[in-house]
Amino acid sequence: MTKDQAIQLLFSKIEAGRALNMAKSFILWDATTTGVPVRSLPARGAASGWISGEIFRRFVAPDTLEAIETLEAIGGGLSEYESAMVRVLGREYRKLRAVPPDEFQAFKALITQSEPVWEAARAKRDFDIMVPYYDKIFEYQRRLCDWYGYEEHPYDALLDDFEQGASVKMLDSFFSALRDRIVPLLKDIISAGKQPREITGMFDIGKQRELMPWLCDFVGYDRSRGKVAEVEHPFCSTFSRHDVRITTKYHEDNLLAAVYSTIHEAGHALYEQNMEEDMEPYRLAHAASMGLHESQSRLFENMICRSRGFTALLLDKLQEKFGDYFSSWDEDMLFRAVNIVRPSLIRIEADELTYCLHIIVRYELEKGLMSGETRASMLPGLWAEKYEELIGVRPGNLAEGVLQDVHWNRGLVGYFPSYAVGTAYGAQLVHAMKKTVDVDAAVKKGDLSPVAGWMKEKVHRHGARLLPGDLIKHATGEAFDPSYYVDYLSEKFTELYL
């Protein structure tokens, strides 16, 4: 196979993969955002499953490997995009090939069976019925570690799968830095006993909906190249860089939920919309990693939009829409209300300060499960102990404890840490951006274009051209350093509460 043949072959595989993935995304979009007949599920599931099989069959084929190996042998003779494509595809191919197909099929069947059992276990508050499923799921994950390979800790194989470059060594030091500063800070905040005024009551959903275009435009999400829909669990879906859709959910009794989830998803969408078009044929018009994707959503949500500057703008909008309620509020009150610290049991409802502590609990448990020290049957007890130790609360039942997340019963082990790593990337990026961009002034003016412009230049447009660690270095001039995140949290919440 010549170099040109190899490149053309990979281009055609990438194009087919893109088309098939788009079809799958349309099926999912349709199912989650429009009212579809209940009985459409089996046919839809079958079609989606067939497409997944087709994606796998076309990609994991001997000619793909031959093309990858041909290009790997050329090495330095490749263009920058070509060599990044070979790196991305080579990694993906070898991971997919590492898993024996019959084991993979059996695992998929196990996951499908475990979903209703997990639902029942939550409803009946009965962990025992879930234990045999978790045992098998974690056993498979341990085998996955062996198939993928690792150098120091088995869990490294899974961590690196979600966030290339992440390892137990890196995360142990990251999480211990967080824990050492945030746990005592949280205790001080609780004992200081300051209680900001909360936003309570019912807020008309029609009026909440009217805020959405302003929020999207503020972040810089181009609505002419996307769409906003309402769903049960918000997400962002990319069909092409000119069609990046987001979703949101309005709660009549929780005004801030849709505001911040819209900003979060718009932050994800901005990344997708800003990638260089010419990277698409090379399969590089993708986020550099899950953590970097999350860095974009979380930095807009927290570092930009839970700031004094933003809450001043938000107050104007809220007074316009809900004048009766907000007439007695001032900017400082709203700033404090969007930054309430409250130790809680549910990760997805956690405040900005305690969020990372919820991730530490899951990280430590996953680490024990992958090393074999922890068995599934030990999870409820360990969960409660760690929540008590880190956050100062104990779950009253399994639904608000160990059974709250869908990740484990879907076989996603190693995924949680990327939320925290992503947030730490975000803090480091914002810190670096502040050297040349007056972020506070931009927010205050209501014109985030210097912020979005910096992110586009330094992060978004590069897609998967660089590895996550290299991208952070390229954007900030330094290697990943979690101290920016720890410092940011500690300064912000000390000023607010102590």
Size of the residue set binding Zn ion (CB under 5 A): 1
Q: How far apart are CA 429 and CA 480, in angstroms?
A: 10
Closest residue by Cα to residue 91 from 100, 83, 101, 79:
83
85, 96, 283, 415, 419 from 288: Cα distances, Å: 12, 19, 11, 15, 14
Q: How far apart are CA 68 and CA 82, in angstroms?
A: 11
Q: How far apart are CA 263 and CA 211, in angstroms?
A: 11
Closest residue by Cα to residue 234 from 215, 248, 251, 244:
248
Q: Closer CB to Zn ion, residue 162 or residue 497?
A: 162
Least Cβ distance, residue 419 to Zn ion (angstroms): 8
Least Cβ distance, residue 323 to Zn ion (angstroms): 32
Closest residue by Cα to residue 289 from 426, 449, 96:
426
Least Cβ distance, residue 310 to Zn ion (angstroms): 19
Q: How far apart are CA 409 and CA 119, in angstroms?
A: 10
Q: How far apart are CA 361 and CA 375, in angstroms?
A: 15
Q: Closer CB to Zn ion, residue 114 or residue 274?
A: 274
Least Cβ distance, residue 263 to Zn ion (angstroms): 11
Q: Name residues contacting Zn ion, limited to 187-246 (CB under 5 A).
A: none
99, 135, 390, 494 from 139: Cα distances, Å: 14, 6, 28, 43
Q: Closer CB to Zn ion, residue 263 or residue 475?
A: 263
Cβ-proximal residue to Zn ion, closest one? 297
Q: Closer CB to Zn ion, residue 144 or residue 299?
A: 299
Q: Closer CB to Zn ion, residue 70 or residue 418?
A: 418
Q: How far apart are CA 397 and CA 404, in angstroms?
A: 10
Binding mask 275-294 for Zn ion (x = CB under 5 A): --------------------
Q: Closer CB to Zn ion, residue 347 or residue 375?
A: 347
Least Cβ distance, residue 292 to Zn ion (angstroms): 11
Least Cβ distance, residue 287 to Zn ion (angstroms): 11
3, 6, 8, 57, 195 from 63: Cα distances, Å: 13, 9, 12, 11, 64
Residues facing residue 228 across a β-bridge: 246
CB contact set of 87 (below 8 Å; sequence gap of 6+): none
Q: Name residues contacting Zn ion, limited to 436-495 (CB under 5 A).
A: none
Q: Closer CB to Zn ion, residue 234 or residue 395?
A: 234
Least Cβ distance, residue 298 to Zn ion (angstroms): 7
Q: How far apart are CA 439 and CA 77, in angstroms?
A: 42
Q: How far apart are CA 493 and CA 339, in angstroms?
A: 8
- Of the residues 265, 301, 352, 364, which is catalytic? 265
Least Cβ distance, residue 428 to Zn ion (angstroms): 18
Q: Closer CB to Zn ion, residue 384 or residue 427?
A: 427
Q: Name residues contacting Zn ion, limited to 109-128 (CB under 5 A).
A: none
Q: What angle do CA 120, 229, 260 make, to 5 degrees?
A: 80
Using N-to-C axis directions, what is the helix angle for 205-219 and 255-273, rounded to 10°? 30
Least Cβ distance, residue 371 to Zn ion (angstroms): 28
Q: For residue 134, give both structure tokens.
A: 């978790």
E-strand ranges in 391-443 read none
Q: Which stretch binds Zn ion (CB under 5 A): 280-288, 296-304, 328-336, 359-367?
A: 296-304
Among this protein's residues, is 280 annotated catalytic? Answer: no
State the CB neighbour count (10 A cutoff) for residue 160: 19
54, 346, 422 from 462: Cα distances, Å: 29, 35, 17
Q: Closer CB to Zn ion, residue 141 or residue 297?
A: 297
Among 297, 302, 418, 476, binds Zn ion (CB under 5 A): 297
Please report, for the chain, how many H helices and E strands are present, in that order: 21, 3
CB contact set of 384 (below 8 Å; sequence gap of 6+): 394, 395, 401
Q: Which residues bind Zn ion (CB under 5 A)?
A: 297
Where in the sequence numbering do the catalytic residues fall?
265
